[in-house]
Amino acid sequence: MDGVIVDRAIYRAGRRTDGPEDLSDALAEARSEGDAFLWVGLYEPTEQEFELVSSEFSMHPLAVEDSLKAHQRPKLEIYDDSLFMVLKPVVYDSEQDTVSSGELMIFVGDSFVVTVRHGEGAPLHAVRMRLESEPQVLKHGPTAVLYAVSDAVVDHYIDVGAELQVDLEELEAQVFSPTEGGSGRTGAQPTAERIYTFKRQVLEFRRAAGPLAEPISRLTRAGVPFVKERSQPFFRDVDDHLTRVNEQVDGLDRLVSDILYAHLAQMGVRQNDDMRRISAWAAMAAVPTLLAGIWGMNFQHMPELSQIWGYPAALAVMVGAVTFLHRLFKRNGWL
């Protein structure tokens, strides 16, 4: 269990204290005091490992199953002995320009908080350190932990959204660049492929932030078990930040779709231009071919066949016809 439990402590009046090693004894000690609670942090536990923890805290079997599968949408479930919340922290890789999401489950009950982390995106260590430096916040108990974790996840959404906005502006500039966008490629990756890749990153971001709106909204209202009512203003602040994030995600999605449509329209225009140029050059090549074919026929009686100026005249007609077509196509924008 030591490898699974990354941290555990009893907090009394907002101060961290060491408790018994046995979880049952530690929980009983925290419940025996009015201002104490136990916080246990787990990282990717197996079914057998998590069973030892869930049995001590009387967790609902459905919540336990969700915590082990780790493929859940953000949600908030209320059971008899605990409140269960799922969040999806996101991680932005600036080198690969990719967005990946982890999963974070929070159990809040009578004098305890259990956090289960899957993936590398959950900022739990930083949240715990920040709360331990702010005992006036931590003394509000498990509700303070639930708020701080939700606030940290949503605030990181804002940072990721800003990074995606910068990348989208760079992509937009490259798409409409005469040198890059005009060739249909940005660096070594085709433009359309990069746009689709970016759209998938936005979709991954939307899957994490969008469904979280309903659980956070529920926390802003009264009547949620194990959540103190005076915490509602703090959750409203988280809800406001999350609303801004979701609006930004919607804007990114619409803009990248518009960029894709504009790129496809550009490709169609360039293909039309290419076809006109090909047609123009083919027309200019067809005229001398036609004239050469006529003068090249082996008939005895042909005009200018016995004239000394016949061959230069044929070449002059060919050059004149091609020159005339070139100027005509140039003037009409085909070349």
Q: Which fold has domain 274-331?
A: Methane Monooxygenase Hydroxylase; Chain G, domain 1 (1.20.58)
Label residue 172 left, alpha or beta by phi (over 0 means left) and psi (-120 to 50 means alpha): alpha
Q: How many CB atoms lie within 10 A of CB 82?
A: 24
Find the range with the poorest average confidence among 112-121, 159-168, 215-224, 278-287: 278-287
The better pLDDT of the pair 292, 127 is held by 127
Instruction: Say if residue 296's pLDDT is above 80.
Output: no
Give the residue carrying structure tokens 């200018």. 304
| Paired sense of beta strands 36-43 and 112-118, if any | parallel
Instruction: Say if residue 265's pLDDT is above 70.
Output: yes
Of the candidates 132, 85, 87, the residue with the CA atom closest to the CA atom of residue 113: 85
Note whether 5-267 and 274-331 share their fold: no
* Secondary structure of 117-167 in HEC code, one letter for each residue: EECCCCCHHHHHHHHHCCHHHHCCCHHHHHHHHHHHHHHHHHHHHHHHHHH
| Paired sense of beta strands 82-87 and 75-78, if any | antiparallel
Listed by start position, the domains of the chain span: 5-267, 274-331
pLDDT of residue 307: 66
pLDDT of residue 306: 65
Q: Can you give the pTM of this predicted structure?
A: 0.77
pLDDT tens digits for 2-36? 557 888 899 998 899 988 888 889 999 999 887 89
pLDDT tens digits for 174-197? 777 765 544 444 444 577 788 888
| Paired sense of beta strands 75-78 and 103-109, if any | unpaired
- CATH dotted code for 5-267: 3.30.460.20
Instruction: Say if residue 106's pLDDT is above 60.
Output: yes
Instruction: Say if residue 326's pLDDT is above 90.
Output: no
